[in-house]
């Protein structure tokens, strides 16, 4: 696991607590906990080893399987950028579904 890349987020994150499956770059399926979300990124918690630049797929409510790129990983926390941002008109629906 490698910590890297500066924290270049421009959007505030909303705290969530959402368990989801994830498909890693090597196609392994693992459980992760999404702990925060913004329209263009998220942070998950997981003990799996990932590298900066890895592509992961994480199913999110309302929008389905979402490809993300690992931006940093440190101590079980993994910061990711969504390959395609959540559309503004769907973001609150995604958040609401994660809370329910």
Residue 65 lies in a domain: yes
Q: Is pLDDT above 50 for 6?
A: no
Residue 23 lies in a domain: yes
Q: Tell me the pLDDT tens digit for each residue of 10-61.
A: 678 999 999 999 999 999 999 999 999 999 999 999 999 999 999 999 999 9
Q: What is the number of residues in the chain?
A: 100
97 CB neighbour count, 10 Å cutoff: 13
pLDDT in the model for residue 4: 45
Total domains in the chain come to: 1
Count Cα neighbours of 76 within 13 Å in the Cβ-side half-sphere: 7
Write out the residue range of the structural domain in which residue 80 sits.
Answer: 14-85
pLDDT in the model for residue 63: 96
Residue 28 lies in a domain: yes
Residue 18 lies in a domain: yes
Strand partners, 12: none
Q: List the CATH number of the domain containing 72.
A: 2.40.10.220
Residue 3 lies in a domain: no
Residue 92 lies in a domain: no
Mean pLDDT of 70-77: 96
Residue 8 lies in a domain: no
* Contact (CB, 8 A) for 3 and 74: yes
Structure tokens at 1: 């696991």
pLDDT in the model for residue 40: 97
pLDDT in the model for residue 99: 85
3 vs 95: CA distance, rounded Å? 28
């Amino acid at each position: 696991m490698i910590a890297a890349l500066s924290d270049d987020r421009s959007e505030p994150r909303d705290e969530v607590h959402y368990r989801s499956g994830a498909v890693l770059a090597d196609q392994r399926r693992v459980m992760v906990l999404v702990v925060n979300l913004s329209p263009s990124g998220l942070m998950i918690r997981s003990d799996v080893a990932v590298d900066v630049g890895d592509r992961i797929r994480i199913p999110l409510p309302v929008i389905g399987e979402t490809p993300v790129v690992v931006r940093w990983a440190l101590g079980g926390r993994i910061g990711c950028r969504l390959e395609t941002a959540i559309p503004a008109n769907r973001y609150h629906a995604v958040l609401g579904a994660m809370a329910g």
